[in-house]
Structure 1
Amino acid sequence: MKVAKRREAMLKAVLSGTSDVSALCEHFGMSEATVRRDLRALADERRILRTYGGAAPSVGTHEPEESLDIRRESFRAQKEAIARAAVLHIKDGDTIFLDGGTTTAALARYLVARRDVHVVTNNLLAVGILAPSEVRVTLVGGDVRPSSLSTLGPLAEVALSRVSFDKAFLGADGVVAGRGLCEASAEQAWLKECVIRQAANVFVLVTSHKLDHASQQHWTPLERHWTLITDAAPNAPELVTFALRNEITIDTAA
C-alpha cells in the first residue's frame, strides 16, 4: 500500500475510534515503528492529535460552514435520491422527526401527499413545504439558527423530552463509524442526542462526501443500532468502515 493511501486509512481508523498504537499495529499488520511514524506525520499535518500510546481526532480542526443558499444548491440530485430511499421507511401511522437541513427538507417534499403521518420537526424549511398539505406538523420551538433555518436551544430540548418518535431522520455535517455525527455547535450536537433518546428507530441521511468525514468539532454519539441512508454505491470504499460494524444498517440510494 502506498504511503499516502496507508495514512488516509490510518486517519479513518483513528477517527473511528481505533487510536491505540498496538491496536493499529494489529489492524494494519504493520510494525510499531511504521505506525508511530504515520501517526507523527498525520499529527504534523494537524489532522490528528498525538497522545500517550496512540492518537486522537484533532478537535481543533474544522471547516467553515457553507451558507444555506450554497447547501440548497449542492448535491441536489444525491439528496433527492436519499429522500426517495428514506420515504420508503415511513409507514402510515408513523410519528417521525425531521432534523434540520436540506436533505431532510428534500424528504419532506416526498411526504406532502401523505395523510396518516405525524411530522415533528425543528426544520423551518420542512415546515414551509408541509404546512399547505394535510400532513400533521408539530414545530419544535426554540432559538432560530439562521444558517440552517432550524430551531435549537433549551426550549427545543424541553419540547423534545415530551414526545417520542417511531422514526427519527437526522442530518449531519459528517458521520464517522464508531464515533457518531459531527456538528458545528455543541447545541446542534446535543439536540440530536435528545432526539435519539426519544426515537425507536434512527436514520442518518448524508451524501457520500460526508462519510468518514470529521469536518466539525462537536459530536453526537451513536451508541445503538441505526440506519445509514446515503447515495454511495454499495461497494464504495467510503462505506467499508460502516459495513464492518454490526450496529449499522446501510441503505444505499445509488
Structure 2
Amino acid sequence: MTRGRHRHPLLLEALRAGEVVVEELAERFGVSASTIRRDLQHLAGEKTIRRTYGGAVIAHPLAHSLAHPLPETSLKEREAQARPEKAAIARAALSLLAEDDILVLDGGSTVAAFGAGLMGRRHAIITNNLPLVGVLAGAAGLTLTVLGGAVRAGSMSTLGPLAEAALRRLTADKAVVSGDGFVAGRGLCEAAIEQVSLKSLMMEQAGEVVVLMDSSKLGRATQGAWAPLPRRWTLVTDAGATQAQCAEAEEAGARVVRAGS
C-alpha cells in the first residue's frame, strides 16, 4: 500500500494513460475509495487534474507532458513490457499485408515483434530498426535495405540526415511505425525530434500507414516531439483498448484493428 503524498506521482502516471475511475485506483493502490477521492481532490486543487464523474483525467495532458516528460526507457526495458499484447498486435498486423508488399519498418520493440513474423514471407523491407537486421538478413523470400545514419542507442535505430537522404530515394506500399504515445490532433510522440523527422518521412514515402501501439500508449503524451499522422491510417492495438480510446483514434482518421477481440 502506498501512503499519502507518495501516491500522487503514481496517480498522475496512471492518469497519463487516460481517464480512470476511483474504484480502479483504490484497488490498484490498496486503499479505500474515499482515500483516492481525497487524493484526487488535492490534485484537482493544484489544477494538475480535472475531476470527472467517478474519476479524473490530466487537466492539460499535452502541457503537462511537455513540461515534465517521462524518462525514456531503454529498448531492453521496452521489450519486457506488454509482451503478450505486442505479440497479438504483431500477428494481427501481419494479416493486413499483401504478398510482395514493400515495407518500411520503424524502430522500436513493437515493430521488431512484427518484423520477426516476416520470416518465411515474400517482402522487400526497408528499415532503421537495427535489432531486426540480424533477424531478417539473408532470410529466404526477403530483401533487406538498412537505412544508414547516426545510431540512437536508446532505441537501437538509425536516424538523421543520412537515413533521411536514403529514404527519400525509396518508396513503400506500407509504413509500419509505432511511438511512445498517441494523441488525436497531434499524432505520435517520441523523445527526440530526429526520431519523428524520420518517422514522418517514412509515412510520406508509403502508400499506407499502419501504427502498432498497445493500449497503454493511446491518449498518452509522455514526450515532446510529434509526428503528425495522415488523414487515413490503420491502428493495430490490443484487445484491452477501451471504446473511448478507439473512438479517439477513429475520429483522427484511423481504421482500428483490436488484436484478439
Q: TM-score, normalised by structure 1?
A: 0.77
1:73 deviates by 1.4
Are the aligned partners of 1:230 and 1:253 in contact in 2 as well (CA < 8 Å)?
yes
Equivalent in 228, 231, 236 of residue 224 of structure 1: 231
Distance 1:63 1:246 in 2: 25
Distance 2:219 2:163 in 1: 28
Letter in structure 1 aligned against 2:151: V
1:125 deviates by 1.1
Distance 1:211 1:232, change over 3 A: farther
Question: Which residue pairs with 2:136 in the alignment?
Answer: 130
Question: Which residue pairs with 1:73 in the alignment?
Answer: 80
Question: Which residue pairs with 2:206 in the alignment?
Answer: 199
Matched position secondary structure for 1:229: strand
Letter in structure 1 aligned against 2:208: N
Structure 1, unmatched stretches of 5+, are 13-37, 50-54
Distance 2:45 2:202 in 1: 35
1:89 deviates by 1.3
Matched position secondary structure for 1:41: coil
Letter in structure 1 aligned against 2:257: D
Question: Which residue pairs with 2:180 in the alignment?
Answer: 173
Matched position secondary structure for 2:48: helix
Q: Deviations over 1:84-121 (max 9, x none)?
A: 0011111112100110011111111111111x310100
CA RMSD of aligned residues (A): 2.5
Q: Percent identity?
A: 41
Structure 2, unmatched stretches of 5+, are 1-10, 20-43, 51-57
1:74 deviates by 1.3
Distance 1:132 1:167, change over 3 A: same
Are the aligned partners of 1:104 and 1:126 in contact in 2 as well (CA < 8 Å)?
no
Letter in structure 1 aligned against 2:129: N
Distance 1:124 1:87 in 2: 20
Distance 1:246 1:48, change over 3 A: closer
Equivalent in 106, 118, 121 of residue 124 of structure 2: 118
Q: Deviations over 1:162-198 (max 9, x none)?
A: 1111000001000112210000001001111111111
Equivalent in 34, 43, 47 of residue 41 of structure 1: 47
Distance 1:92 1:163 in 2: 19
Is 1:242 aligned to 2:225, yes or no? no
Question: Which residue pairs with 2:151 in the alignment?
Answer: 144
Distance 1:146 1:167, change over 3 A: same
Distance 1:132 1:191, change over 3 A: same
Q: TM-score, normalised by structure 2?
A: 0.75
Q: Deviations over 1:136-173 (max 9, x none)?
A: 01001000111111000110111111111100000100
Equivalent in 48, 60, 63 of residue 57 of structure 1: 63
Equivalent in 80, 95, 106 of residue 99 of structure 1: 106
Are the aligned partners of 2:124 and 2:144 in contact in 1 as well (CA < 8 Å)?
yes
Distance 2:97 2:230 in 1: 23
Q: How many residue pairs are counted as aligned between the two chains?
A: 213
Distance 2:204 2:45 in 1: 35
Distance 1:176 1:93, change over 3 A: same
